[in-house]
Structure 1
Amino acid sequence: MKSTETVILACILLGVMLLTTQLFEKPRIKVYKLQYACDPDGPADLLFPFCNTSISDDDRVEDLISRLTIQEKIEQLVNTAANVSRLGIPPYQWWGEGLHGVAISPSVYFGGATPAATSFPLPCLSVCSYNRTLWNKIGQVVSTEGRAMYNQGRSGLTYWSPNINIARDPRWGRTQETPGEDPKLSSGYAVHFVKGLQEGDYDQNQPQAVSRGPRRLKISACCKHFTAHDLDRWKDYDRDHFDSKVTQQDLEDTYNPSFKSCVKEGQSSSVMCSYNRLNGIPMCTHYELLTLTVRNQWGFDGYIVSDCDAVALIHDYINYAPTSEDAVSYVMLAGMDLNCGSTTLVHGLAALDKKLIWEGLIDMHLRNLFRVRMRLGMFDGNPSTLPYGSLGPEDMCTEDNQHLALEAARQSLVLLKNEKNALPWKKTHGLKLAVIGHHADATREMLGNYEGYPCKFVSPLQGFAKVLSDHSPRISHERGCSDAACEDQFYIYAAKEAAAQADAVVLVLGISQAQEKEGRDRDSLLLPGRQMELVSSVVEASAGRPVVLVLLSGSPLDVSFANDDPRIQSIIWAGYPGQSGGEAIAEAIFGLVNPGGRLAQSWYYENYTNIDMSNMNMRPNASTGYPGRTYRFFTDTPLWEFGHGLSYSDFKYTMVSAPQSIMAPHLRYQLCSSDRAVMTSDLNCLHYEKEACKESSFHVRVWVINHGPLSGDHSVLLFSKPPSRGIDGIPLKQLVSFERVHLEAGAGQEILFKVNPCEDLGTVGDDGIRTVELGEHTLMVGMVQHVLTVENWREGHGEL
C-alpha cells in the first residue's frame, strides 16, 4: 500500500511539473531565415510592390529605393551591400570572377555539392583560336556553372570579367588575362564572350539587332579596366600611382575600341574604372569618359564599378582629392555607381552632411545598381522557380563542358616553328619518350590566374601517357628545374641522362605566376634562370634525335636561341591552357590535332625591354628612337609577328572578288559615325547620317584551300594597308576581319568578309577622329594582295 501511494504521489508531482512548465514556458517563435528577396512563402509583410513582376523594372526600382533610409542607401553603394531585413533584402556580395571559368573570389564558395568548375584556357590563349563561336560557348558554360552555384547559395551573379585591356607591352603581368594587342580582335572577343555570359531573354518586341540587350540576365558581365590600364608594378611605377599619358589619337584608336564594342555590341551590364590616372585625372573620377562617353555616347545601360580600393587611393595615395569625402563626391559626380571597397560606406554620410553629394545623386546610382539586380531576377522570388532555377550540381563539370575546355585548348595552341615538317610524330610501339621540364607535370600552373578549382587536371605527362596508351610507351620524366625560376643545376644532369636514352624528347618549360601576375610585371623576356642552359644541355644529349620545345606562359618570351637552333625542330606555345591542356599538347605533337592557333600578340627580342614600359604612346617617334607598339606601329623586326601560326597542312588563298574602287562616304557621314567628332562639335547628326557608314559596306570574297596532307582548322585574317602607312601616325597595317574554317585535305571554301570603310579602312587622326583616307588601300590575305582605290565622294554618286 505504501509503495502504491508513493507511485500515485510521484505521478501527481510529475503532472504538476509538466503543467507548470507549459504555463510558464516562453512561446516558441518561428524564425524566418532570409535567403532571398520577395519570397512568396515568407512573411506577407515582406512582399512589397518592388516584388511585383507584372510592373516595369523601373517602377519596381523606384519603389524599392523610396523605402530605404539614407543610411541603408549608402550601405548599398559598396560591393559588400548590406541586408535590409525589414524589407526582406538579404546582403549581397557583388565581387565575383569568371575570366576563364568560375573563379575563387569573394562571392564564390567552392565546396559541398559544387566543389569544382570547368577551367578553360586563359584568354591570352583562347583568343588565338580566332573563333567567335568558341568564345561565346565558353561564356555560356561559365554562366551556366555560375548560375548552378548561385542556386546552391555558393555564388553571386555579378562576375567582373572579362579583362579587355590592350596587351601593349609583353612585360605586363596581366597580359595573360587579355585577348591580345589588336583592338579589332579584342573587340570581337569582348562581344562574344560577354553575350555568352549574359545570354538572357532578349526583348521580343524588337529584333535582337536593335534590342537594348537581354531583359533578364543569366550572369552580369563586366568589361574592365577602363581605360589605358596595362602597368601593375615595374621599376618605380605601380598601378595605384601611375599616370597614363595618352594622346587622343591612341585613346580612340587603341585603348577604347574594345570597351566601346563591349558596351554597344556586347551590351555588357557593367564597366569597371581602373586604378590609373589618365592624363592626370583618376579614371574613376573621369566624367568625360564615364558619363559623357560610356553612358551617354555609347548608350551604356548598367552599373560602373571601381577597381577595388581605387576610390580610397584618390585621397589616401595620390592626394588628388583633399579629403576622403571629396573622393566620394568626385567619383559619384563622375558617374561611378559602386565602390569596391569601403570608402563610400565610411565617408558617404559625411560627404552628404558637407553637401558634397545629395540624396538625388545617390538615388541615381542606386537605380543603376538595382536595375541590374532586377534583370538578374534577384527580386522575382524563389530562384528555383525562375529561369535557370533548375541548374544545379549536375550542371557543373559535365562531360560536354569538359570537352569544350579540351577543344578550346586544341583550337588555340600555336605552332611557332616546325622545321622540315618534323611534327607530327608518328605513334610507334614501345617509343622511349623523355618528357622534361618543370611544367611537364604541371597542374595548377596550367590554369594561370583568376582560377577556380577545376574538374580535373591532365598534365602534359598524363596527356602523353593517354595518347600513347595503346602503344606501350616507355615514358621517362625529369624536371630539369625545380620550378620556373630554375635557379640551380641540381636537376639538369638527370635531364641530360633521360634525353640521352630517349628516342624523342619533349621539353615543357616557360614561366608561371611567380614571374607574371597581377601586381608583378616582368623585367626580362628571356626564360628565367638556367632554363636556356637546360635546353642546350638536353639538346646536346639528344644527339640529333627529335626535340620539341613546349612553352607555358601568359605572355611572349624571347626564345630566339631555340628558334635559331636547327636541333630544336619544333616549338609550340601553349599559353596557360586550362584543366585539359596537357592532353591537347600531346594530341598536337602526335597529330591527333592539327594546330590552328595564331598569335594575338607580337613576340619580341630581349632588346624590347630597353623601351620604357611607362611610355604609353603607340606610335613610333623617329627623333627619339622609340619604335612604337604592337604590329600596327612597331618599326623594328619582331621574333614573331601578330597572326603568326603554322599548321601541319598547306593552306593557300585566292582573292575571288573585291571592288577595284569605292567612293568614300560623305565626310559629314564619317564624322557622324565618330564619337569624338560628335562630342566635340555641333554636328546635330540625324539617325540616317549616323548609320550611313554602315550602309556603305562592301564584300570581299576569298577562296581558301587545304592542300593537305591533313585536315585541320585555319583562321583566315584579312588586313589592310592604308595609303599613307607609317606616316604621321598612320598604322603600317591593321586587321580588318577574321574567320575560322575547318577544311578536309584537298577541300576549299569561300570566305565572305563584310567591310565597313569607315570602321575597317578608316584611321584616326591627331584629333581622335576616324576618317577614311583617299587613295590606294591594299587588302591582304596571307601573301595575296588586292589594291582598292578609295575615291572622294561626289554629288549624286553614292548619296543615301
Structure 2
Amino acid sequence: MDLDCGVYYTNFTQNSVRQGKVKEVEIDRSLKNLYVVLMRLGFFDGNPTFKSLGKKDVCSKQHIELATEAAREGIVLLKNVNETLPLKSKKIKKLAVVGPHANATAAMIGNYAGIPCQFTSPLDAFSSYGEVKYGMGCDGVACANDSLIFPAMKAAKHADATIIFAGLDLSVEAESLDRVDLLLPGYQTLFINQVAQVSKGPVILVIMSAGGVDISFAKQNDNINAILWAGYPGEEGGHAIADVVFGHYNPGGRLPLTWYEAGYVDMLPMTSMKLRPIDSLGYPGRTYKFYNGSTVYPFGYGLSYTQFNYTLRSAERSLDIKLRKSQHCRDIEYKDNEYKPPCPSVLIDDLECNHEFGFGIEVKNVGKRDGSEVIIVYSKPPIGIAASHTKQVIGFKRVFVKAGKSKTVNFVFNACKSLGVVNYNAYNLLTSGRHTIMLGDDVVSFPIQLNIKDKLYVLLMRVGYFDGNPTFKSLGKKDICNKEHIELATEAAREGNFGGLDLSVEAEGLDTVDLLLPGFQTQLINQVARVYKGPSCLPVVLTSISPNKMIKSETSCGQGTGGGRFPCGNYNLRTVSVSFERGSLRPKTCHEIQYDDEAHRLACPAVLVDDFRPSFQNLQK
C-alpha cells in the first residue's frame, strides 16, 4: 500500500530499510504515486480557490437549507398503519418527545464529519409544534439500566402523540468498533415497548443508526403506528424529521442496505467474507445481491404518503454483440439440466463496451399528495447460471410528481456495466441469454435477449436459422425421397470419405479406443491385396461388409483424398475373386511417390486421382 492511515509506516519503515527488508526504490515509487495524485488535485497550485471563505460563507441560509433537504431526502418511512403519518398539527397540542436520541446533536453527524454550523435537535424542532414533554428514557444509547423509563412513560400517558427516538451512535458502531449483535442496545427494546403500551395517542418510532437493526418487535407491535429511519441525518436532522412527521415533506427515501434478522450473525463467522449462499452450512448469503433468507426490511424498501403506478412505454428487447477475431467465447457454469447457449459468455475486458440499451417508464402519482419516487432499476441474469447474483442495481432516478400527474423517465444503460456476471474466479463476464430488467420490487419487468454472435452465429444467419419458419417446413417424405434426391445422396457417397468404421465404434460421445481398423478388417484388406492379380490400379473400398452378402459400391480411386496420388501395382488373387467393369483409365501423366529405400520402383509409380474415375461393381466375397 502507498498510504497508511495509521502509524505503522511511521514506526517501522526506517528500520525496515536498514535491515534490507524494504528497498528505497519501493519507497520512492509509493511517494511518486502519492505526489502525482496531490498534483492532480492542485495541492501545489498555491492558495486554493476557497481558502478565503469562512464560517459566514459556509453557514449561509442556502447551505443550511441544503443540509436540511439532504436530511429530508434520506429519511425512510418503514411503517405507517392506517396513514398515521403525517400528523395533523392542528390536532396535536401536546407532544411527548422521548428516548436517548430525543435531544441528539453531535450523534446526528456520525463520524468523519466537519465542524457543523449549528445543531437543530429533534427536541428543538418539535417544540415549535406545541407543548413538548421530554423524557430521556435511557442514559445514552447503551441504555444500561431502566431507571429512566418511568418518566418517559409518564410523558406519553398525557400526550396527543409520542415520538420515540432510539438507535445507535459511535459508542457502539464505528470504525474499529463492531457491534456484537443486530439488536438495539441494553434496555432500549423494553423502553420502547413500555412507552408504546401506555401512550395516549399514536406512537412514532424514529431510528437513528448507520447499520441495520432488528426491530421486528416494533414492526409487529400494534401499539407502534409508524416507524422512520433517519440514518445519521446531519446537523439539521431534527428539523428534517419534524417536516416529515407533520407532512411538510413527503418521504421518498429507500433503505441502502438489507436489515437482517438478529439470528443472521450466528450463521457464519464475522470474519467470513463469502457472499454466495452455502446451503450445506445453512448460510443464506450476504447483501441483497445474494441473500436468500428472511429480512426485517429488504434493501431498497421505503414507503410514501402517496402511491405511484409504473407503465412501461418503450423498451429495447434484444441486443446483439458481434465478436471480432481477437474476441472469444468463454464458458460459464450452468446448473444441471439448464440450457447453455452456444456462446455462453465473453470476457468484458475483451470488449470495447459501447453497447447500450434503454427504456422509458411512465410514473403516475395516483395518490392525493405530491411526492418524489425513487425508481430503482435492477438487472437479473439468465436463469440457469450457477452461483450468479439474484439481482443487482444498475441505476436509479428520483422524480417528483404532483398528485394526479405523471412523468416519463428514460434510462440508458451500458450492457457491460449493467448485465455482467462475476464468476467464481472473479472474471467479469457478459453472458448470453434472456436477462431481465426489473423496476422496484418487480413492479414492472421485461426481458432483454443478449445475443453474443461468434463465428457460429454467422453461419446460422447465412442458412436462415433466425428467419422464422423455414421455407420447406411443409414438405414431407414424398417430396424428399424422390429420384433426384436419391441420386444426390448417391453422388455424395461417391465423393465422400468413408473409412471402415460406423457409429457403433465412432460417434459423438463415443470415441474410438485406438487408430486401428476394428476387428479383422486389416487382415481382410491384406489378404485381398496379397492374392489379387489384375490391372495396375486397385482401389480398396472400406465399407461395412456383411458375410454372404453382395455389395455394390461406386467410388473414385483413392476416395476423399482430393488431389492425392494413389499408388499402383500388381496383386496376386488366390482366395477372393473380384469381377468388375473396366473404367476409362487414361492418366495424363505419371507422378512420383516416395518408396522405402529397398523397395522396387515401378516405371509409373502413381497417377493423379482426379485424372480418372474407374467404376467397380459386383465386389463379392
Give the TM-score taking structure 1 as reference length. Answer: 0.52
Matched, 1:547 2:203: yes
For 1:750, the equivalent position in structure 2 comes to 408
Q: Is 1:568 the equivalent of 2:224? A: yes
Q: Secondary structure at the match of 1:639?
A: strand
Match of 1:699 among 334, 351, 358: 358
User: Is the Cα–Cα contact under 8 Å of residues 16 and 22 in structure 2 kept in the other structure?
Assistant: no
Q: 1:366 to 1:624 in 2, by over 3 A?
A: closer
Deviations for 1:163-195, whole angstroms, at most 9, x for unmatched residues?
Answer: xxxxxxxxxxxxxxxxxxxxxxxxxxxxxxxxx
| Aligned counterpart in structure 1 of residue 90 of structure 2, from 428, 446, 463 | 428
- Equivalent positions of 1:382-461 (< 5 A) are 383=47, 387-428=49-90, 431-461=93-123
Letter in 2 for 1:509: A
Question: Secondary structure of the residue that 1:540 maps to in structure 2?
Answer: helix
Give the Cα–Cα distance (whole angstroms) in 2 for the partners of residues 670 and 435 of structure 1: 64
2:14 is aligned with 1:357: no
Partner of 2:3: 305
How far apart are residue 596 of structure 1 and its match? 0.9
Match of 1:509 in 2: 166
2:370 to 711, 717, 722: 711
Do structure 1's residue 610 and structure 2's residue 266 form an aligned pair?
yes
Contact 2:94 2:131 in 1 (8 A): yes
Which SS does the other structure have where 1:514 is aligned? coil
Aligned pair partner of 2:33 in 351, 368, 371: 368
Do the aligned residues in 1 keep the contact of 2:327 with 2:351 (CA within 8 Å)? no
1:52-67 to 2 correspondence within 5 Å?
A: none
Amino acid at match of 2:23: I
Distance 1:458 1:732 in 2: 41
Partner in structure 2 of residue 601 of structure 1: 257
- Which residues of structure 2 form unaligned runs of 5+? 331-347, 462-621
* DSSP 3-state at the match of 1:698: strand
Would you say 1:777 and 2:435 are equivalent positions?
yes
Name the CA shift for 1:521/1:670 in 2 (closer, same or farther; >3 Å). Answer: farther
Q: Give yes or no for contact 1:458–1:582 (8 Å, CA) kept in 2.
A: yes
Summarize deviations over 1:487-523 as a string: whole Å, max 9, x none.
2221111111111101111111111222111221111
SS in 2 for 1:795: helix
| 1:578 partnered with 2:234 | yes
Flag the 1:619–1:493 CA change in 2: closer, same or farther, 3 A: same
Three-state SS of the structure 1 residue aligned to 2:411 is: strand
Distance apart, 1:740 and its partner CA:
1.1
* Partner SS, residue 3 of structure 2: strand
Counterpart CA distance in 2 for 1:746 and 1:698 is: 30
Aligned length: 438
Which residue does the alignment assign to 1:790? 450
Superposed counterparts of 1:79-90, under 5 Å: none
Task: Tell me, yes or no, if structure 1 residue 648 matches structure 2 residue 305.
Answer: yes
- AA aligned opposite 1:614: T
**Counterpart of 2:203 in structure 1: which amino acid?**
V
More strand by share: 2
Distance 1:539 1:655 in 2: 43
Q: Which letter does structure 1 place at the counterpart of 2:165?
A: V
CA distances 1:182-219 after superposition (whole Å, capped 9, x unpaired): xxxxxxxxxxxxxxxxxxxxxxxxxxxxxxxxxxxxxx
Q: Is the 8 A contact 2:92 2:161 kept in 1?
A: no
Task: String of CA shifts for 1:51-77, please: whole Å, max 9, x gaps.
Answer: xxxxxxxxxxxxxxxxxxxxxxxxxxx
8 Å CA contact retained: 2:379, 2:435? yes
Q: Structure 1 475/699 Cα, relative in aligned 2: closer, same or farther at 3 Å?
A: same
| Counterpart residue number, 2:288 | 631
Distance in 1 (alpha carbons) for counterparts of 2:21 and 2:390: 52
Q: Deviations over 1:242-265 (max 9, x none)?
A: xxxxxxxxxxxxxxxxxxxxxxxx
Map of 1:164-175 to 2, 5 A cutoff? Answer: none
1:636–1:366 Cα change, 3 Å:
closer
Q: 1:380: how far off?
A: 4.2
**Match in the other structure for 2:142:** 485
- Alpha-carbon separation, structure 2, partners of 1:583 and 1:671: 57
| C-alpha contact 1:669 1:692 (8 A) present in aligned 2 | no
SS in 2 for 1:693: coil
> 2:15 maps to which residue?
347
Judge which range, 444-453 or 631-640, deviates more: 444-453
CA-to-aligned-CA distance 1:734-771 (integer Å, 9 cap, x gap): 11211111111122211111122222112111222222
TM superposition shift of 1:355? 8.4
* Deviation for aligned residue 1:394: 3.5
C-alpha distance in structure 1 between counterparts of 2:324 and 2:162, whole Å: 60
Instruction: Measure the CA separation in 1 of the matches of 2:233 and 2:362.
Output: 31
Say if 1:373 and 1:637 are closer, same or farther in 2 by CA, change over 3 A.
Answer: closer
CA distance in 2, matches of 1:577, 1:561: 24
> Counterpart in 1 of 2:573?
none
CA distance in structure 2 between the partners assigned to 1:712 and 1:671 by the alignment? 49
Conservation of the 8 A alpha-carbon contact between 2:100 and 2:141? yes
CA separation in 2, counterparts of 1:405 and 1:342? 40
Partners of 1:623 and 1:650 lie apart in 2 by: 42
Cα distance in 1, alignment partners of residues 214 and 21 from structure 2: 56
**1:609 Cα deviation after fit:** 1.6
Residues 668-718 of structure 1, C-alpha deviations (whole Å, 9 max, x = no match): 788799xxxxxxxxxxxxxx9966322x11111111111221112221011
Which residue of the partner structure matches residue 557 of structure 1? 213
One-letter amino acid of the counterpart of residue 588, structure 1: V
The separation in 1 between residues aligned to 2:324 and 2:421, in whole angstroms, is 13
Alpha-carbon distance in 2 for matches of 1:577, 1:422: 22
Q: Distance in 2 between matches of 1:500 and 1:700?
A: 53
Q: 1:665 to 1:493 in 2, by over 3 A?
A: farther
Deviations 1:383-442 (A, max 9, x none): 2xx644543444332222222111110110011111122111111166111111111011
Give 5+ residue unaligned stretches, structure 1.
1-283, 285-303, 313-338, 674-687
Equivalent residues of 2:421, 2:428 under 8 A apart = yes
1:759 matched to 2:427: no
Question: How far apart are 1:361 and its partner, in Å?
Answer: 4.5
Name the Cα RMSD after superposition.
2.6
In 1, Cα distance between the equivalents of 2:159 and 2:305? Answer: 24
Q: 1:390 to 1:499 in 2, by over 3 A?
A: closer
Alpha carbons of structure 1 residues 669 and 485: separation in structure 2 relative to 1, 3 Å: farther
- How far apart in 2 are the matches of 1:503 and 1:770? 56
CA distance in 1 between partners of 2:192 and 2:349 (Å): 60
Q: Is the CA contact 2:251–2:371 (under 8 Å) kept in the aligned structure 1?
A: yes
SS in 1 for 2:213: coil
Q: Which entry has the higher C-alpha Rg, 1 or 2?
A: 2
Change (3 A) 1:535 1:370: closer
Instruction: Report the Cα distance in structure 2 between the residues aligned to 1:586 and 1:760, rounded to whole angstroms.
Output: 38
Q: How does 1:14-33 map to 2 (within 5 A)?
A: none
Q: Could you tell me the TM-score, scaled by structure 2's length?
A: 0.66
Aligned residue type for 1:661: S
